[in-house]
Amino acid sequence: METITFTGQVFQYLVTGITVGSVYAMVAVGFNIIYNVTEIINFAQGEFVMLGGLIMVFLHVAVGLPLILAFPATVALVTLVGVLLDRLAINPIRRPTVLSLIIATIAASILIKGTAMFIWGKDPFDLPAFSGRDPIIVLGAVIQPQYFWVIGFLVLIVIVLTFFFERTIIGKAMSACADNPDAASLVGIDVKRMVLLSFALSAAIGAVAGITMTPISLMEYDRGAMLAIKGFGAAVLGGLGSFPGAVIGGLILGVIESLGAGLISSGYKDAFALIVLLFVLFFKPSGIFGNIEISKIKRF
Amino acid sequence: MTLRKITVLSTICLFAVGLLAGPALAFEGSYKVGGVFSVTGRTSFLGDPEKKTAEMLAEKINNAGGINGKKLELIIYDSEGDATKANLAVRKLITQDKVCAVIGPSLSGTSMAVVPLAAKYKIPLVSCAASYKIVWDDKESKARKWVFKTPQTDTMAVQAIYTYLKKKGVNKIAVLSVTSGFGASGRGELLRLAPGYGMKIVADEKYGPKDTDMTVQLTKIKGKNPQVIVNWSVGPTQVVVLRNWKDLGMTSIPFYQSHGFGSRKNIELAAGAAEGVYCPLGAVNVSELLPDNHPQKAVTMQYMKDYAAKYNEPLSSFGGHAWDALELVADALKAVGCDKAKIRDYLENTQGFVGQHGVFNFSADDHIGLDKNAFQMVVVKNGDWALAK
């Protein structure tokens, strides 16, 4: 047993923190997409992650589809759940207020969790790692190949989303809904369709997060709530509605948790992240990348 | 006679025949025993096998002629893991169903909620939950008169691990635990008993029950160079921590799990990372591995065969707690009949009762009846349990 140097330890904490943070960031991005279009917080966001993991296990391990097919099929199925969530719970509400919509998402999250429990039971499930489990050793720190998949997909999501919102007409239409839904509908944008699209998109991102993290941490039916809380913390830390904010917020949260647990005390791991969150909000209530002027005109 | 009258008459005749033919064995009255388990809800993994085991056992006893020619009538209620429901169920068993004794509840929490009822109505209660506080009154520092329990405690699991480590010449250990009730209680015992066994705890790390990665805690432990790691958790975390341990290349530091690891499902989920991991388990988990001269070999093998035949599912060690509880009560009923005070006295004086989780020896001060020998040290070898040498 070779001993591990202090630098090696810190490097290990950073690597772990960035990986865990990447998952938080993906959840936070999902929160932001829906928030930007509807001004609501979708409390079923963590459930998309859970479904992503469990459906992938079903398709890849139980049915035996190859990875390359099971991955898009899982994302498509979870996207369908996102679409159904909008069509069955969000769209039919006659006089939508921010509060009633948020309550609808809470109800949906309980329903999805319960259904998942009936289908898969309470046991955790495993997924084989995408490219084996032989770790790579850098500076005495151990890096799982799966870590690269998680971080890689976060980068991919950021690139695709940036392109989508800045270069495509639909993406710009969605951003317009975010700025002012009334004005957007006056210029001919179908706001309800954009809401549907936002749910589909964030469900897909949630599914990717779930699929990539399951080989590292397993997945079971009630994992969603905790991930939603962490992802929400990341979104708030970065500034609700800001995509760079969500990514930075997620990574900061992950790294602080990891360093705090490693260098100070693992018992207070969750507290470190929350203390930093409170501290940031105390000095900059709109989050790191948030704009106080914009947040004033938002309803929530 | 009209057709209608014929129908009515023949129905009555059929009922009469049914009533006469019903009981295949003629019993002279019955002994009623109540059971309260968490059959549904979050903790159904405990209550469900307990209920199935108790029903199976009662059927077996009745098929063999009952107890003293009387039928063993089992009345089971579901507590759903809820303390209030457990309390109401036990109250109903005592006041309405008028049972001779109660077995269960399944959880420490629900058991604590019904302990006062046993004392109030002076009825023997044999709990299937872990905490020693169920049978021990800390305030008066004596055993609760009417309450017994069958599962082993954390203390015994820790003693079993420490005894084994001492034998191996280990004295520098790292403790890892989950921040839930199970983990906190186990950690407390690990820390409390360490000096007595000459163990030096060089690291004491924790993680949350929903954590997805324990690389950080393990890296920190790696830096402290312990001889072994002892981990106390249940659920997915105890599997994730094993994978991280293997990934970090720490397999040269042996890994010890608590008795919560006792399911083959965990070995499967660990995807090879469980190889060489130690844990303390009750005999019921490893009946096939026991040597033929082991006192529990016969009862555990029989239980495993019966359970698999009746329910077509693998045995859960939790069902064994209900087996022990009901067999103890059945023994008492056979000896003294349905006299609550006498059943209690009989239970307290029971010696050498061979059960699923150990050989029970009760006394006035010890209403648990087991010691650290109720645990076998087991190691994972080629994806299955093997007795540790």
| Residues of chain A positioned with their CB less than 8 A from the CB of B213 | 16, 19-20, 216-217
* Closest C-alpha to A34, from A219, A169, A231, A214: A231
Q: B138 in a domain, yes or no?
A: yes
A28-66 pLDDT, tens digit per residue, is 999 999 998 888 889 999 999 999 999 999 999 999 999
Cis peptide bond upstream of B105, omega within 30: yes
- Helix (H) or strand (E) holding B126, with range, is strand B125-127
Q: Calculate helix-pair angle for A243-259, A145-167, nearest 10 degrees.
A: 160
Give the closest-approach CA distance of B206 to chain A in angstroms: 5
* Closest C-alpha to B333, from B101, B172, B129: B101
What the block records as the tokens of A79 is 């996207």
Of B216, B239, B269, the CB nearest to A261: B216
- CB within 8 Å: B236 and A213: no
Neighbour count for residue B9 (Cβ, 10 Å): 11
Kindly state whether residues B186 and B256 are assigned to the same domain: yes
Where helices occur in B96-153 by DSSP H, the ranges are 108-121
Q: B221 in a domain, yes or no?
A: yes
- Helix (H) or strand (E) holding A97, with range, is none
Kindly state whether residues B188 and B201 are assigned to the same domain: yes
Characterize A22-45 residue by residue with b for buried, 16 or more Cβ atoms within 10 angstroms of its Cβ, and e for exposed. Answer: bbbbbbbbbbbbbbbbbbbbbbbb
Kindly state whether residues B134 and B168 are assigned to the same domain: no
Q: B291 in a domain, yes or no?
A: no
**At residue B282, does pLDDT exceed 60?**
yes
Kindly state whether residues B277 and B171 are assigned to the same domain: yes
Domain ranges, residue B49? 30-152+300-371
Q: B161 in a domain, yes or no?
A: yes
The upper half-sphere exposure of residue A281, i.e. CA atoms within 13 Å in the direction of its Cβ, equals 14
ipTM, two decimals: 0.76
Of B206, B220, B253, the CB nearest to A262: B220
- CB within 8 Å: A266 and B205: yes
| Residues of chain A positioned with their CB less than 8 A from the CB of B249 | 135, 137, 142
Kindly state whether residues B134 and B160 are assigned to the same domain: no
Interval B154-178 mean pLDDT: 94
- CB within 8 Å: B219 and A218: no
Q: B292 in a domain, yes or no?
A: no
* Closest C-alpha to B355, from B329, B381, B379, B323: B323
Q: B17 in a domain, yes or no?
A: no
Tell me if chain B has a CB within 8 Å of the CB of A266.
yes
Kindly state whether residues B57 and B142 are assigned to the same domain: yes
Kindly state whether residues B161 and B114 are assigned to the same domain: no
Kindly state whether residues B256 and B319 are assigned to the same domain: no
B1-53 pLDDT, tens digit per residue, is 566 776 666 666 556 555 544 445 568 889 999 999 998 877 788 899 999 99
A219-269 pLDDT, tens digit per residue, is 988 889 889 989 999 999 998 888 889 999 999 999 999 999 888 888 888
- Helix (H) or strand (E) holding B76, with range, is strand B71-78
Length of chain B: 389
Interval A137-166 mean pLDDT: 90
Q: Which of residues 113-142 of A touch B (CB under 8 A)?
A: 122-126, 128, 133, 135, 137, 141-142
Where helices occur in chain B by DSSP H, the ranges are 3-21, 44-63, 83-95, 108-121, 154-167, 181-193, 215-224, 237-247, 264-269, 297-311, 317-336, 340-348
Where helices occur in chain A by DSSP H, the ranges are 6-38, 45-57, 67-85, 98-120, 145-167, 169-179, 181-186, 191-217, 224-238, 243-259, 269-283, 292-297
Asked which of B250, B281, B312 is the last residue of a domain, the reply is B281
Kindly state whether residues B180 and B210 are assigned to the same domain: yes
- Helix (H) or strand (E) holding B354, with range, is strand B353-354
Name the pTM for this structure: 0.79
Kindly state whether residues B202 and B228 are assigned to the same domain: yes
Q: Which of residues 19-58 of B touch A (CB under 8 A)?
A: 42, 45
Q: B83 in a domain, yes or no?
A: yes
Asked which of B253, B281, B309 is the last residue of a domain, the reply is B281
Question: Which chain A residue is nearest to residue B243, measuring alpha carbons?
Answer: A216
Q: B6 in a domain, yes or no?
A: no
Contact between A53 and A219 (Cβ < 8 Å): yes
Integer Cα distance of B185 and B206 in angstroms: 13
Please tell me the total count of domains within chain B. 2
Kindly state whether residues B162 and B241 are assigned to the same domain: yes
B213-253 pLDDT, tens digit per residue, is 898 999 999 989 999 999 999 878 899 999 999 988 899 99
Kindly state whether residues B148 and B177 are assigned to the same domain: no
**Domain at B85, CATH number:** 3.40.50.2300
